[in-house]
Structure 1
């Protein structure tokens, strides 16, 4: 391999690598809320922290690990989120309700804009998720039609 060549990247595009305070709980939470599937077994460190786990959510992939403060890697502060993850979902309202029932903090109730039904929440691990699903009018039911109806 010359200096100009790179080894193959394991996934196409950018990959979010989430740091959480409890990776085992996060893996279970993402499975319950997003139907995430774990790829292989998480890499468990000698001190029992998860050093790496890989989850598929729909057509996307996320990596996650426990905190490693000695390396400057700490979980997000749920009150000060700097990154949002947008995710397509089959049913915005149902996904938001599953998240809320499992401890998520709602940021925005479902609203219709840009041709879809959107909502936003922060998960119990401090990560902000923006849901994007089919508009209710496309599914044959009524619902709010602007971002300001539910605020």
Structure 2
């Protein structure tokens, strides 16, 4: 099986209101890199975009009448959960689970301004 470089066998594809803001949120909070963005004919809304966080790729686009908003729960490993939690809250997310120490690491949960829940974990 061939997979394009930078892709994985399974990748989330989010259809979002304010997709442009989602990419910026991911960059600010998780040091994501937006690898490509293709705009629709209106040159305002995103037809397709891809960003990477670490070695993982998230695809996303602007929701339309045909492709209504589809958000997700995303589990992400980070270097420092406390720092990512603070950054997420500073960029408009709300807490759904306070920072805590679990047997699998330091973890928390936030709801981003675009309707996605992020489960943020750093391994000790």
Query: Structure 1-normalised TM-score?
Result: 0.74
* Unmatched 5+ stretches in structure 1: 1-5, 77-82, 136-151
**Relative CO higher for 1 or 2, CA cutoff 8 Å, sep ≥ 6?**
2
Equivalent residues in 2 for 1:53-68, closer than 5 Å: 53-68=49-64
Note if 1:90 corresponds to 2:79. yes
Q: Which residue of 1 aligns with 2:97?
A: 108
Note if 1:50 corresponds to 2:46. yes
CA distance in 2, matches of 1:122, 1:115: 21
Report if aligned partners of 1:54, 1:63 keep a CA contact under 8 Å in 2. yes
Structure 1 or 2, whichever has the larger Rg, is: 1
Q: 1 or 2, which has the higher strand percentage?
A: 2
Residue 93 of structure 1 and its aligned partner are, at CA, apart by 0.7
Q: Which residue of 2 aligns with 1:145?
A: none
Residue 24 of structure 1 and its aligned partner are, at CA, apart by 1.5
Residue 59 of structure 1 and its aligned partner are, at CA, apart by 1.3
List 4+ stretches of structure 1 deviating above 4 A.
none
Q: How many residue pairs are counted as aligned between the two chains?
A: 121
RMSD: 1.5
* Unmatched 5+ stretches in structure 2: none
Residue 120 of structure 1 and its aligned partner are, at CA, apart by 0.4
Residue number among 8, 18, 22 corresponding to 1:12 in the alignment:
8
Equivalent residues in 2 for 1:120-135, closer than 5 Å: 120-135=109-124
